[in-house]
């Protein structure tokens, strides 16, 4: 088995989940500066699109910096031959690993027979993994998936995946049907770990990471201990908290810190992605960063009215001056 960088990581492994229009190059740089996880993921990118005339427009989603290493490129699709080609592309671009999305429940993805639809088509799923492995060269291939489609079939599904020996299997502890509408069922991650240990030898054993509803690093460590998983992947918990993976940090971020990092986030987004992506993508971050302090609601409303990066930073700079003024006034009383 080709474990690549996975074999060099200390357990429990903490990973950043791939989230469309969230974990883009700008946000990953913010995270890498303040609390880098052990592994970072790109947003998911269409294998079909990368093998079409639209390839140039999608390459921006595969942009990364050296500080993000090890970094994994995630692809979705349903054509094995395209996964062979994008695996080769990932090598050329210098990625550390490749991940196949077999968990996305979005209807547009499912209609393509991709994402979580592959759980219902294990034959094709295995063909895709094998094709990616052939194209990947020395890069390890992992799979991010769910515990089933309409019901929990984690044992059956894991046995299919073990047939083709991915380097790691990341399990979102819900079914496709459940989306993110119910609490993550972490007992199913423990079940997956048992299957892997019972049905594979140490030499061919993939790592298992769990994913779902983890709110802080202490909970991540607890979930790893409870389930026996090799690591934990964090998604929504990172929103507005680029310090999530910072093991040395103990204090919650102040209002000033949140405003400063949001300004930096907007600036990096505008520089790296402003010519390629709509500024509306940044709006989902406003509520995450701007909360938990007096005047947060009013500030969010002002930010949502901003038409571009320049206007948003003007709003934030005014708020920052008010924050500093209040701090100075409080200090002189």
- Residues with catalytic annotation? 104
Enter the DSSP assignment of 179.
Answer: T
Give the integer Cα–Cα distance in Å for 66 and 61.
15
Q: Taking the chain, what is the end-to-end CA distance rounded to the nearest angstrom? A: 66
* CA 115/CA 250 separation, integer angstroms: 37
Transcribe 72-107 into DSSP letters.
EEEEE-S-HHHHHHHHHHHHHHT-SEEEEEE----H
Q: Are 245 and 207 in contact (CB under 8 A)?
A: no
Which of these, 254, 253, 249, lies nearest to 241 by C-alpha position?
A: 253
Residue 77 tokens read as 């699709």
Distance CA 214, CA 237 (A): 6
- Edge-to-edge strand list for the sheet holding 13-16: 13-16, 231-234, 207-211, 168-172, 141-146, 97-102, 71-76, 40-46
Residue 1 near residue 204, CB atoms below 8 Å: yes
In terms of residues, how long is the chain? 333
Contacts of 28 (CB under 8 A, 6+ apart): 16, 40, 42, 64, 65, 68, 71
Q: What tokens were used for 263?
A: 């300004």
């Amino acid at each position: 088995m080709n474990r690549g960088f996975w074999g060099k990581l200390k357990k429990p492994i903490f990973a950043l989940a791939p989230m469309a229009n969230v974990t883009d190059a700008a946000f990953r740089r913010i995270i890498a500066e303040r609390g880098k996880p052990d592994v970072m993921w790109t947003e998911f990118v269409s294998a079909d699109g990368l093998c079409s005339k639209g390839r140039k427009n999608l390459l921006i989603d595969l942009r990364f910096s050296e500080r993000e290493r090890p970094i994994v490129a995630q692809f979705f699709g349903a054509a094995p031959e395209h996964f062979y080609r994008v695996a080769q592309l990932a090598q050329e671009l210098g990625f550390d690993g490749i991940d196949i999305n077999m968990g996305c429940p979005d209807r547009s993805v499912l209609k393509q027979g991709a994402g979580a639809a592959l759980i219902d088509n294990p034959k094709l799923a295995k063909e895709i993994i094998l094709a990616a492995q052939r194209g990947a060269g020395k890069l390890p291939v992992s799979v991010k998936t769910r515990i089933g489609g309409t019901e929990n079939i984690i044992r059956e599904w894991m046995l299919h995946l073990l047939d083709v020996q991915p380097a790691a299997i990341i399990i979102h502890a819900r079914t496709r049907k459940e989306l993110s509408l119910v609490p993550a069922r972490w007992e199913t991650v423990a079940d997956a770990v048992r299957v892997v240990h019972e049905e594979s030898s140490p030499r061919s054993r993939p790592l298992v990471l769990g994913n779902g509803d983890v709110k802080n690093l202490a909970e991540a460590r607890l979930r790893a201990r409870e389930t026996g998983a090799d690591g934990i992947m964090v998604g929504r918990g990172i929103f507005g908290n680029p310090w999530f993976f910072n093991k040395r940090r103990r204090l919650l971020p102040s209002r000033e810190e949140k405003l400063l990092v949001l300004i930096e986030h907007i600036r990096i987004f505008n520089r790296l992605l402003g010519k390629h992506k709509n500024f509306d993508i940044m709006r989902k971050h406003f509520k995450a960063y701007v909360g938990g302090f007096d005047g947060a609601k009013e500030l969010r409303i002002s930010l949502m009215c901003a038409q571009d990066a320049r206007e948003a930073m003007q709003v934030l700079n005014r708020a920052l001056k008010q924050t500093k003024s209040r701090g100075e006034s409080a200090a002189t009383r």
